[in-house]
Amino acid sequence: MSSEISYQPIGYIQTPFMTISDMPIQPSGANCAEGIIELNPDLVPGLLDLEGFSHLILIYHFHLIKEHKLSVIPFMDDQPHGIFATRAPSRPNAIGISIVELRKIENNFIHISGVDMVNGTPLLDIKPFFTKYDNRTDAKAGWLEEKSHINIAKIKSDNRFE
C-alpha cells in the first residue's frame, strides 16, 4: 500500500498579489481584493447550483512554500507557536483554505472577493460555505483569543515564509 497522495489542480486563482510580501494574511483582511478562479473547462458542470451561495471555501496549494517548519512566529504574534496552532503557510502539507465571497460565475471563470492568496495559486477544491454547519458559536480560539482586538486588515504578510 502506497503512502503517496497526489492531487491535480482543478484550476488556478488569479489575484492582484504577485508576491507573498504585502498580501492580506486572512480573507477577512482582504474584503476589497478581487480575484478570478479559472476552473478547468471540463469541470464546469460541477458548478451547477453554486451561484446560490454567497461564500465559498477554497482549498488550495501553497505553491511558493519550499520547506515546512514545525514552529513558526505567525503574523499576529511575536512568539513561536506550533505550526498546527497557526494558519501559517509553511506546513508539512502546503494546503491552504480561505472563505471568499462569490461574485458571479461566467463559464469557467468564478469571480470572487476577499482573496488572500498569491496570483497563480493552484486550486484543489471548492466547497460551498453554509453558515448552519460552518459556524461554531461555542468555539475557542486558543492563543488567538487575546489577539481578537487586532485589526486584521492592517496586517500584511512579509517574507518570513518565502
The whole-model pTM stands at 0.83
User: Containing domain of residue 42, as a range?
Assistant: 11-154
Q: Is residue 4 part of a domain?
A: no
Q: Is residue 92 part of a domain?
A: yes
Q: Please check the confidence at residue 21 and state whether its pLDDT lies above 60.
A: yes
Q: What is the pLDDT of residue 154?
A: 57
Residue 15 · residue 118 · CB < 8 Å:
yes
Please tell me the least confidently modeled range out of 45-49, 90-94, 150-154.
150-154
Q: Is residue 42 part of a domain?
A: yes
- At residue 159 the predicted structure's pLDDT band, cuts being 50, 70 and 90, is low
Q: Is residue 53 part of a domain?
A: yes
The candidate with the shortest Cα–Cα distance to 113, out of 105, 101, 122, 124, is 101
Q: What is the pLDDT of residue 55?
A: 95
Q: Is residue 5 part of a domain?
A: no
Task: Look at 43 and 133; give whichever has higher pLDDT.
Answer: 43
Residues with Cβ within 8 Å of residue 35, at least 6 apart in sequence: 13, 14, 15, 16, 100, 111, 112, 113, 115, 117
Residue 60 · residue 144 · CB < 8 Å:
no
**Domain CATH number, residue 109:** 2.40.30.70
Please tell me the least confidently modeled range out of 2-6, 49-53, 79-83, 146-150.
146-150
133, three cell numbers: 454547519
Q: Is residue 67 part of a domain?
A: yes
| Count: domains in the chain | 1
Q: Please check the confidence at residue 98 and state whether its pLDDT lies above 70.
A: yes
Q: Please check the confidence at residue 70 and state whether its pLDDT lies above 70.
A: yes
Average pLDDT estimate for 65-69: 90
Q: Is residue 99 part of a domain?
A: yes
